[in-house]
Amino acid sequence: MSLEKCDIGVVGMAVMGQNLALNIESKGYKVAVYNRDHDKTKKFIEERASNKNILGTYTYEELAKSLNRPRKIMLMVKAGKPVDDVIEQLLPNLEKGDIIIDGGNSHYKDTNRRFKYLQDKGIRFLGTGISGGEYGALHGPSIMPGGDKSAYEEMKDIFEAIAAKTEDGPCVAYLGPSSSGHYVKMVHNGIEYAIMELISEAYDIMRKVFRLSADEMHEIFKKWNDEHKSYLMEITYKILEWKDEETGKPLVDVILDSAQQKGTGKWSVQDALDLNISIPTINAAVNARTLSAIKHERLEIGNIFDTPVNNSLNNDFINSVRDALYIATVIAYAEGMKLLQVASSEYGYGLDLSEVARIWEDGCIIRSALLKPIQKSFKSKPNLVNLIISEEFRKDFENRIPKLREVVSEIKKIGIPIPAFASALDYFDGLRSKELPANLIQAQRDFFGAHTYQRKDKEGIFHTEWQDIHNI
């Protein structure tokens, strides 16, 4: 359908870009689309976008001319150099005040650079995290915009129209300046990594220790989801009942145990290290994916050190796994929120963590019933030192940490790797420890490197001459 002027342009016609364009159009907006592969644009216009208020364009000049001013153009292209390339090709066709929205999983440092670069040229920029996968893009994602505040106000009506909805409103909010939106999306994905790994470890326990079938585990996860009301738990039980058309076996049983990753989880861990923030459960999840990828090495070593799993546990233990999964998931959220809290202060984002939890309540991959009490926790105490001491979760920790401890203890005896469960417990135990052995570490550092130390009993920085280096 030919249109004179459109409300917004979408660049990138992979599935996410197509679905987002269709979502926007369904809310009454006119959309112009562009893809570097013109055949893909043409096919989209002729098929999925047929008889809709969506205009196919085939040059950046044509795209720019088709848009109302100020122009609003959303990029749904692969992170990294492709984003920079599209921006450079767009710029000659834009005017001061126009808006570019990067809706991909860009690294926040790239977003900072692009924000400043475009600001100097008079172009307004929004780094916008979008979560919900293909379904969410079409029916309502969680949207995490950050950058130019005036650009957000221009985009607000569109964002709120296409976002997922809860009783608290649309799952979108202006998060803060510069790269705040992409940073929040990065941490969202770090939490996602952790929860996926925890669920997978629970699955591994049930299949290896209790020899449960995929159908049996389907029923268990379905029951557990009645409590969690978690998207990741929901898709888990649906996956477990899916049968492979070729073999008739559960599809999950014929999928290779080698997990891939795009980088957002790793970026979360890297930045946490730079900020001196401990996120061990998220880190364990990233490491677990890395380990899974070396299948050939695991096969060789497993042939040498293979240890049969002897089940001495009764079926009641599965309930302990349920409680362990619940509280370890809370810990994963706690790690992510702590990272956001520190990053917000360090980078000047001014994040409202209650609002972050609110826009995650629906549409995004980590949505679950847990986000309501998380929202409440940070609403009542914006400077809450850590989610694990929130009033909303105090009793959960008292009641379920013993179950997590039981699961880690018993499964470690058997020899099944549970890095995320173990790391979550270590995180809790570390935070509750009034005394850690770091005093000895600091003494060692001072001994071999004169790195100095502080004392408990008086102020100051101290060094001890532990040895006479001239007589060694």
Q: Is the preceding omega at residue 70 within 30 degrees of 0, hence cis? A: yes
Cα three-residue angle 306-311-317, rounded to 5 degrees: 130
Residues of the chain with pLDDT under 70: 1-3, 469-472
| pLDDT at residue 3, as a whole number | 46
**What are the residue ranges spanned by the domains of the chain?**
8-178, 185-432, 438-471
Cα 123 from Cα 373, distance rounded (Å): 39
Which of 36-56 are b and which e, b meaning 16 or more Cβ less than 10 Å from the residue's Cβ? Answer: beeebbebbbeeebeeebbbb
Length of the chain: 472
Which tokens in the block code for residue 421?
A: 């469960």
Output the pLDDT for position 470: 66
First and final CA of the chain: distance in angstroms?
86
Q: What is the pLDDT of residue 244?
A: 97
CATH of 185-432, one of 1.10.730.10, 1.20.1440.120, 1.10.1040.10, 3.40.50.300: 1.10.1040.10
Contacts of residue 39, Cβ cutoff 8 Å, sequence gap at least 6: none
**Which three-class secondary structure state does DSSP give residue 250?**
strand
Q: Are 128 and 154 in contact (CB under 8 A)?
A: no
Catalytic residue, candidates 25, 192, 201, 361: 192
Cα angle for residues 372, 378, 380 (degrees, 5° grid): 100
Architecture of domain 8-178 in this structure: 3-Layer(aba) Sandwich (3.40)
Give the tokens for residue 364.
Answer: 């995004």
Q: Which residue, among 189, 349, 352, has the nearest Cα to 270 in the 3D structure?
A: 189
For the domain spanning 438-471, the CATH number is: 1.20.5.320
The one-letter amino acid at 198? L
Specify the pTM: 0.95
pLDDT at position 1, please? 42
Alpha-carbon torsion (61, 13, 149, 140), positive or negative = positive
pLDDT tens string 216-243: 999 999 999 998 899 999 999 999 999 9
The answer to whether the CB of 420 falls within 8 A of the CB of 328 is: yes
Alpha helices by DSSP H, listed for 91-148, are 108-120, 133-139
Is 185 among the residues known to form the active site? yes
Whose CA is closest to 419, among 274, 310, 291? 291
Q: Which two tokens stand for residue 413?
A: 């005896």
- Non-local CB neighbours of 10 within 8 Å, separated by 6+ positions: 17, 20, 21, 24, 31, 32, 33, 34, 73, 74, 76
How far apart, in whole angstroms, are the C-alpha atoms of residue 137 and residue 135? 6
Q: Of 107, 187, 183, whose CA–CA distance to 347 is shortest?
A: 183
CB 102 within 8 A of CB 83: yes
Kindly tell me the burial class for residue 362, based on how many C-beta atoms sit within 10 Å of its own C-beta (0-12, 13-18, 19 or more): buried
Count Cβ neighbours within 10 Å for each residue of 310-334 and write b for 16 or more, e otherwise: eeebeeebbebbbbbbbbbbbbbbb
List 72, 185, 266, 338, catalytic entry: 185
The SS3 call for residue 9 is strand
pLDDT of residue 199: 98
Do 190 and 265 contact (CB within 8 A), yes or no?
yes
The answer to whether residue 62 is catalytic is no
